[in-house]
Chains A and B, each alone.
Chain A
Amino acid sequence: MSTTQQNENKWPVLSWIASKKLHLIIWVIFIFYEAIIVGLINGKFGRLSPYVLYYTLNITTFYVHAHLILAVGLNKPRQTAWKLPLLLLAEIAVYFGISICLDYIIINYTNYTGSRRITLDLIYFSAPLYRCVYFMCFSTGYYFLTRYIKERKKTEELEKQRLNNLIQLTKSENAFLKAQIQPHLLFNTLDFIYQNARESSPVAAETILSLSEMMRYSIDNNKDKDFVLLAEEINQVENLINLHQLRQNHGIGLRFWYDDEIRTIKIIPMVLITLAENMFKHGDLLKAVNTAEISIKSAHGKLIIETANLVKEAKDKSGLHSGLENIKKRLIYSYGNDAKFHYGVEPDHYFRVTLSITIRKANQL
């Protein structure tokens, strides 16, 4: 790396040429093309010196036109009307001037054998005029092309900046929100309320306890895990039941049956909790006579989860089925044929859900 840098410093010309290599290549191709075409048309090739001189003039015109004339002329749109024609005329005039000089040099100081003479009439000027306009047109095209590319780059850059900004904004919003509900503050406050409520209102204290356990579960737990212990979901379901019981003055007729051994079985998350939540959302659980049930058992190598409850008379059952369909899809994805999932209203008016999962080693990851 350092040697190339040294080289660049020693030969800044070389490095400049390297950066403009696209231009050079195109010019070389263009010159070849023109030289060959003209040679074929005229039947013979001209000498080197006219080529060098005139191409130098033309190429210079090309770049001067693009970078100087047009840049200045189109700079301020209001002044374009008078500036641009003026500049163009000046350019053509200068071109003519230089062209005459070059002709003079070629005719008198080189071995020129052609028929061209400096006659300074219309016929004489038609050739340089043609060449000048020819290159000016190319140059104009080149000018607009480069401008377009520059604009495009600018827009892309702006877009990128805008997106970056958006990301930063979202990040800081996120951090702000997190700071607002940081667990430390949350649980300290809940504990404070709990301590205060214990004496005067045990019901409130108990409610806070269940609530904070549920919050701790959702804050601590990474639900991105593929499998969770049934024990964890059972705890949350019991917290949920407790919350509702406390709010309904322990009037909810719901029994949760399970034996402690099934706690160690693993299952995909948010299935048991969703079924329990559904029961509270859509079920009619206050008729003490008709108790609702959730039962979990393990039999014949299968984990069986069943729920049963009466249904509320309500029009809006939209949430229910989308939740259950979601469970079905996730079960198929994780267990394939090992899981069987049915739900529906039975003749005894109970809405029942039956889930059976064949327990395999593979399921217990």
Chain B
Amino acid sequence: MKLTCIVIDDDIHAVNGIISYINSLTNIQLIKSYTDPLLALNEITAGESVDIIFMDVDMPLISGLELSKVIRHKTDKLIFTTSHSKYAYEAFEMYASAYLLKPYTFARFAETINMLYPKRPATPQVSLKQEDDYFFVRNKNDNNNLIKVRYPDIVAVESLQNYVRIFTLNETIVAYIALSEIKVILLNYANFAQAHRSFIIAKNYIEKVEGHTLKMINNLTINIGSNYRDSIQDYIREKTIKTNRS
């Protein structure tokens, strides 16, 4: 069952922005969007309840606080979108389930939804069929041309905020996708493991282990993050041969 939501913002660009985020998530759907707060007020109070209302606080003609008071009971969660700091709106705390500070990334948006509905996590629309052993991705280093990346060729994937650097045996590709998004695909393959908050590696390309540092086949040196140590070390231990004598 998808979460139902309504968007109220007098700025049409902000409305379009949030709608595109909504369309990128599988677990949420838009019922209606409003740029006129008064119209929103009338229709919402008369209509059905929804799960989430996204509301801009700084709208003309009506006080955000007043509007919140009136429509609060018509929604499970009320999320304020504001360009100012949330600290400026302490009075809203009693109505707000969360704040989104403009401009905000898709990641922040998804994170907020997941936080409010942990049992129904949002997964980004990944329209990738898992059968093939390759995928195409736009390479920023090569004029955004599409390039084929084969899973067995991937040595490591490094996070660059909303970009990733994919190290393959032959080249380095910078793609416009977040690590959290590509992780979903990669971790389906047993060979890939997360070694650090910013790195996913292909276990078969680990050449050397120096304490808490991994050296990959392409000379990439990666520190193992403390959260990920156990699983990496288990893997290494499994693959280590040693004498039974000691």
Contact = CB atoms under 8 A, between A and B. Distances in A.
Interface of A: 183-184, 186-188, 190-192, 194-196, 198, 202-203, 206, 208-210, 212, 216, 219-220, 238, 242, 245, 249-250, 255-257, 259-261, 295
B84 A209 contact: no
12 contacts: A188-B58, A190-B102, A191-B83, A191-B102, A195-B16, A195-B103, A196-B13, A198-B20, A208-B103, A209-B105, A250-B174, A260-B226
B64 interface: no
Contacts of A242: 160-161
A337 to B, nearest CB: 28
A37 to B, nearest CB: 80
What secondary structure prevails in chain B residues at the interface with A? mixed
A229 B59 CA distance: 34
Contacts of B13: 191-192, 195-196
B140 A188 contact: no
A249 B176 CA distance: 12
B11 A220 contact: no
A35 to B, nearest CB: 79
Given A187-B101, A260-B225, 5 more contacts: A209-B103, A245-B163, A250-B160, A259-B197, A261-B226
Contacts of A220: 85, 87
Given A184-B84, A188-B11, A257 B223 contact: yes
Contacts of A245: 160-161, 163
Contacts of B162: 206, 209
Contacts of A187: 83-84, 101-103
A148 to B, nearest CB: 56
Contacts of B227: 259-260
A152 B226 CA distance: 74
A192 B103 CA distance: 8
Interface in B6-49: 11, 13-14, 16-17, 20
B140 A184 contact: no
B130 to A, nearest CB: 26
B106 to A, nearest CB: 9
Contacts of A202: 176
Interface residues of B, number: 31
Nearest to A185: B83
A306 to B, nearest CB: 12
B22 to A, nearest CB: 14
Nearest to A208: B103
Interface centre among B14, B20, B83 (most CB of A within 10 A): B83
- Listed residue (B58, B83, B103, B105) with the most chain A CB atoms within 10 angstroms of its CB: B103
Contacts of B11: 188, 191-192
A83 to B, nearest CB: 70
A261 B16 CA distance: 37
Contacts of A183: 83-85
Contacts of B226: 259-261
Contacts of B102: 187-188, 190-191, 194
B165 interface: yes
Contact of B83 (A184, A209, A249, A256): A184
B223 A250 contact: no
B160 to A, nearest CB: 6
Nearest to A190: B103
A280 to B, nearest CB: 16
A262 to B, nearest CB: 9
Contacts of A203: 140
A71 B149 CA distance: 102
A195 B102 CA distance: 10
A195 B197 contact: no
Nearest to A259: B226
Contacts of B20: 198
A261 to B, nearest CB: 7
A184 B16 contact: no
Contacts of A216: 85, 101
Nearest to B165: A250
Given A183-B85, A191-B83, A195-B14, A250 B163 contact: yes
A194 B162 CA distance: 14
